[in-house]
Structure 1
Amino acid sequence: MTSKKIYFILSLILIPLSLISQAKEVSPPDFIKTITFKSNTTQGQLPVLRLGEPLILEFDALNANEEDFYYVIEHFNFDWTPSVLAKAEYLRGLDNQRILEYYNSFNTYQVYSHYKLQVPNIQTRALLKSGNYMISIYDEYDELMFSRKFMVYEDLVNVGVRVKRSRDVRVIDEKQSVDLTISTNSINFNNPLETIKTVIIQNNNLNTSISDLKPQYTLGNELIYRYDTESAFWGGNEYLWFENKDVRTSNVGVQFIDLKDIYQSYLYPNIVRAGRPYTYNPDLNGNFQVTAADRLDVDIEADYTMVHFSLAQNELIGKDIHVYGNFNAFAIEPLTRMEYISEKDEYEVSFRLKQGFYNYKYVVVDQETGELDEGAISGDYWQTENNYKVLVYYRDLGARYDRLIGYGEATSVDISN
């Protein structure tokens, strides 16, 4: 067999593999900030919308060019591989349209434009199917700026969620386990071991989600999941937080402020919490909320400040430390990487954030493997208050896509043994 024939056969094999690869969110360039979804709940969280509920996406562009941005919406299977559905099957109207609504900032040191997209709109009239979606934002040169995942569900099943201490005695003080019960009177589950898929998400962070657990017991039309280890998450710790709604004075978590080209917010230095006693400290589970004192419209009147983070920590060889939170969808990127300052024996980083209330913590990333350790700095405790979302997907025999038929939610406030 000639080398050309071998190359041709390999290309036929590799092309399908590339087509079925899982979709990943793309982080925005540095001039795009504060990407938020707004719904009937709160802003900034992972959007899980009921079918028919509007999707509202907002973001800021800090380059002051009043650029044109366009949006594209795609449908995916439960595992984020591309769906076989044609666009006309899941979307009524057109996408790849320009975002028409934007406003320029008012009375701020940092000049920016605030963009707002709502679906449905004149061009995109409705999303027709439940399931996983990705919305991608492009500039006028057809370059991808960023992408974000969201989910649309049908309320067809009841999803009971309970949080327990880990059943593994080796990590009973550090992990939390999630038990599920799925029940319905409207659907007859056909072969649920194959047709039902589940995804468990801790604190709106898709990066650490647990997916595709099989029901252990079936009682009529009730599916029961009570795993010992497979549904267990590291407990983590309560998030650190700060608020800088007033840029002219220090606030909660802010040691002092300064004004250069824009306001500078210097946070109190943080310490390593791993190995220390657990202390309850109410948080937003990694989320954020834009807010500003004495401002009528925070979308365009809240200013941007350069926020300075510092962590008292000896230098870690072969590992990086990042600031971690939903302010950038829990992404590990160069912007959040901290630099070790040998003179101070601490790690430091600074980047721009819009005024508001922010949760954050420090995580360690292995430089070679990229493995993320969320508890290395903050610790892992079974008492930590965490939020858990459960998504239930169903693909009936012969169906062409994964329907998202149920959604449940619980917190570990009432955690039990």
Structure 2
Amino acid sequence: MKKNIFNLLLFTLLPTLLISQVVKEVNPPDFIKTITFKSNTTQGQLPILKLGETLELEFDALTNNEEDFYYVIEHYNFDWTPSSLVKSEYLKGLDNQRILTYENSFNTYQIYSHYNLSIPNTQTLALLKSGNYMISIYDDYDELMFSRKFMLYEDIANVGVSVKRSRDVKVIAEKQSVDMVISTDGINLNNPLETIKTLIIQNNNLNTAISNLKPQYTLGNELIYRYDTESAFWAGNEYWNYENKDVRAANVGVQFIKLKDLYHNYLYTNVSRKDRPYTYNPDINGNFLVTAIDTDNVDVEADYTMIHFSLLHEEIKDKDIHIYGNFNGFAIDPLTKLEYNSESQRYEKIMLLKQGFYNYKYITVDRKTGIIDEGAISGNFWETENNYKVLVYYKDLGARYDRLIGYGEASSVNITN
């Protein structure tokens, strides 16, 4: 009898438990590379678009089979649990459609097919609601290849963002704090302490984002956020970079080149900067850009090269070192882990990447806890130039989903005390 009651309760609660699960991005298999979202102004892996703008997703499949891929779009709440909206409420038209636009590589050592998906299109006519979305790409056997998050916002609330040095004297030289002012001229917000949620993103990295800070006080129709520690980020350091737009000649960050089955680019060995003085070196905040000389279309004419990374550092017994950047959505996986070479006393890694300009850094991951330390190799310096984005969500009393009503952005190049 007790077992029957337990089974009944489990059957009753299971749908609720499944619905409340927080969704996470799925990283692609090794033969899918260079996942890129493009807009009129940026290229990267975290698109934040105004509702009604075109979403453009591109990626390469390093096979010669011209695979068929299909896309599915889902809407999510602020905390990345599935929203209660049915698909017809947030999507006009159909998804689960085949990606029709693709081209094969031309004049490259590495054969690949380049896929391009634009929304809206003839099948998916429009995305109707603001908020958080996930796009998932499946193959012809209905197996999930990868998934990526994106956001659509309504331009209703004005979001003022400013970057300050940390107000905590213990870390004043290592952290940056983000202040926010949200103005709500265009909408009457009910009980903003409960209905407004915020998300602060540093350098397009959702892994380190600070979420759901409450306004400290209101001034007229403005919500004020001026926290001492809760909105503070480790400042990090400028990213290392390299560029191999010409695979036949050494370029920025490339020491020498060898041609085997593919071109191999050997980068200059990096050294720890944690205990060295800060040096300003302009970067693109962890992003990447596909570039290639003497080409008409870099999408299909840029080649893939084997990039040899090396870091001069003593072996760390209890932690792993990974290469970190927006080229794979700041993911930590076996493909980014460096191996220690006891003969050269260096950490080394070879990665297959498309030609271009890449930012990267080295981070440590604790083997027991999984805790990431972004400053363990590069250090943290308050002078570092970082980009900060602030998203403002609103869920009115009785509403069924979180609207994304405002978006603001600032750079720490204008940091003040």
Cα distance, 1:10 vs structure 2:
4.6
Q: Which runs of 4+ in 1 moved over 4 A?
A: 10-15
Contact 2:75 2:90 (8 Å CA) reproduced: yes
CA-to-aligned-CA distance 1:121-143 (integer Å, 9 cap, x gap): 00000000000000000000000
Matched, 1:197 2:197: yes
CA-to-aligned-CA distance 1:337-389 (integer Å, 9 cap, x gap): 00011111111011110000000000000111111110000000100000000
Aligned pairs (5 A) from 1:10-29 = 10=10, 12-13=12-13, 15-29=15-29
Contact 2:45 2:327 (8 Å CA) reproduced: no
Which residue of the partner structure matches residue 156 of structure 1? 156
Structure 2 CA distance, aligned partners of 1:249 and 1:175?
39
Aligned pairs (5 A) from 1:197-346 = 197-346=197-346
Which residue of the partner structure matches residue 379 of structure 1? 379
Amino acid at match of 1:145: M
Structure 1 CA distance, aligned partners of 2:84 and 2:326?
31
Which residue of the partner structure matches residue 5 of structure 1? 5
Contact 1:167 1:228 (8 Å CA) reproduced: yes
Which residue of the partner structure matches residue 75 of structure 2? 75
Which residue of the partner structure matches residue 347 of structure 1? 347
Cα distance, 1:7 vs structure 2:
5.0
Cα distance, 1:13 vs structure 2:
4.2
Amino acid at match of 1:243: E
Partner SS for 2:320: strand
What percentage of aligned pairs have identical amino acids? 74
Structure 2 CA distance, aligned partners of 1:404 and 1:198?
9
Structure 2 CA distance, aligned partners of 1:283 and 1:274?
18
Partner SS for 1:164: strand
Structure 2 CA distance, aligned partners of 1:13 and 1:172?
48
Structure 2 CA distance, aligned partners of 1:283 and 1:252?
13
Matched, 1:364 2:364: yes
Structure 1 CA distance, aligned partners of 2:8 and 2:366?
38
Amino acid at match of 1:247: V
Cα distance, 1:64 vs structure 2:
1.5
Structure 1 CA distance, aligned partners of 2:184 and 2:366?
44
Contact 2:198 2:211 (8 Å CA) reproduced: yes
Structure 1 CA distance, aligned partners of 2:16 and 2:314?
47
Partner SS for 1:309: strand
- TM (normalized to structure 2)? 0.98
Partner SS for 1:364: strand
Unaligned runs of 5+ in 2: none
Cα distance, 1:9 vs structure 2:
3.2
Structure 2 CA distance, aligned partners of 1:342 and 1:5?
60
Structure 2 CA distance, aligned partners of 1:117 and 1:70?
10
Partner SS for 1:224: strand
Structure 2 CA distance, aligned partners of 1:166 and 1:18?
40
Partner SS for 1:186: coil
Amino acid at match of 1:332: I
Cα distance, 1:18 vs structure 2:
3.2
Structure 2 CA distance, aligned partners of 1:353 and 1:317?
29
Cα distance, 1:63 vs structure 2:
1.3
Which residue of the partner structure matches residue 135 of structure 1? 135
Structure 1 CA distance, aligned partners of 2:212 and 2:70?
34
Contact 1:189 1:221 (8 Å CA) reproduced: no
Report how many residues are paired. 417
Partner SS for 1:370: coil
Cα distance, 1:11 vs structure 2:
5.5
Matched, 1:407 2:407: yes
Q: 1:286 to 1:76 in 2, by over 3 A?
A: same
CA-to-aligned-CA distance 1:164-207 (integer Å, 9 cap, x gap): 00001110000000000000211111100000000000000001
Structure 1 CA distance, aligned partners of 2:274 and 2:181?
34
Structure 2 CA distance, aligned partners of 1:15 and 1:92?
26
Mean CA deviation greater in 337-346 or 281-290: 337-346
Structure 1 CA distance, aligned partners of 2:9 and 2:406?
42
Structure 2 CA distance, aligned partners of 1:17 and 1:218?
37
- TM (normalized to structure 1)? 0.98
Structure 1 CA distance, aligned partners of 2:210 and 2:18?
23
Structure 1 CA distance, aligned partners of 2:215 and 2:118?
37
Partner SS for 1:88: helix
Amino acid at match of 2:141: Y
CA-to-aligned-CA distance 1:220-241 (integer Å, 9 cap, x gap): 2110000000000000000000
Which residue of the partner structure matches residue 118 of structure 2? 118
Partner SS for 1:404: strand
